[in-house]
């Protein structure tokens, strides 16, 4: 009974994870901008990885339920890998977004940059870091800037 429930949940988790990883690839191809590509390429892969590794963890727990000692090793190692992904992936995305903003890449269709003077390249007392905010206007002028 419990094994069958585990099996169905494993299939559902695999479907969700593959769907979101494919969305990450499509978003990387289709979005117009560095920041929106970061949005697609980092959030979608993190969410999809949670579900794909979650299916592996559930498989390990199912083997452990059926008195197989290898399942516990599988589940614990997968949990460690999941924690490593969850800690490192948003941090790397934040560093990349900050680097893109400081190296002068402007958002698509941006006219006014609110963070122009607030984030300095080398400041002793750093101001509080906000996420990069995009102002969009209806008329897309100055695209070649």
Q: What is the binding site for other proteins (CB under 8 A)? A: 7, 10-11, 14, 17-18, 21-22, 24-26, 28-29, 34, 37-38, 41-42, 45-46, 48-49, 52-53, 56, 59, 63, 68, 70, 73-74, 77-78, 80-81, 84-85, 88-89, 91-93, 95-96, 98-100, 102-103, 105, 121-122
- Give the residue with the Cβ less far from other proteins, 86 or 112: 86
List, in order, residues 6 or more apart from 50 with CB less than 8 Å away: 17, 82, 86
Q: For residues 135 and 61, give the distance between their C-alpha atoms in angstroms, rounded to a whole number.
A: 47
- Alpha-carbon torsion angle 139, 142, 144, 145, nearest 10: -140
> 108: how many CB neighbours lie within 10 A of its CB?
15
- Give the residue with the Cβ less far from other proteins, 81 or 111: 81
CB of 136 to other proteins, least distance (A): 20
Burial class (CB in 10 A: 0-12, 13-18, 19+), 29: exposed
CB of 70 to other proteins, least distance (A): 6
- Give the residue with the Cβ less far from other proteins, 104 or 128: 104
């Amino acid at each position: 009974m419990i094994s069958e429930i585990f099996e169905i949940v494993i299939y559902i988790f695999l479907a969700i994870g593959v769907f979101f990883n494919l969305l990450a690839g499509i978003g990387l191809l289709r979005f117009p901008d560095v920041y929106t590509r970061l949005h697609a390429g980092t959030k979608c892969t993190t969410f999809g990885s949670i579900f794909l590794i979650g299916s592996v963890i559930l498989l390990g727990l199912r083997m452990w339920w059926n008195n197989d000692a290898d399942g516990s090793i599988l589940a614990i190692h997968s949990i460690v890998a999941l924690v490593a992904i969850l800690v490192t992936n948003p941090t790397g995305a934040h560093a990349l977004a900050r680097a893109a903003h400081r190296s002068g890449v402007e958002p698509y269709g941006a006219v006014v940059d609110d963070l122009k003077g607030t984030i300095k390249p080398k400041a002793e007392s750093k101001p509080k870091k906000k996420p990069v905010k995009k102002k969009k206007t209806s008329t897309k002028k100055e695209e070649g800037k």
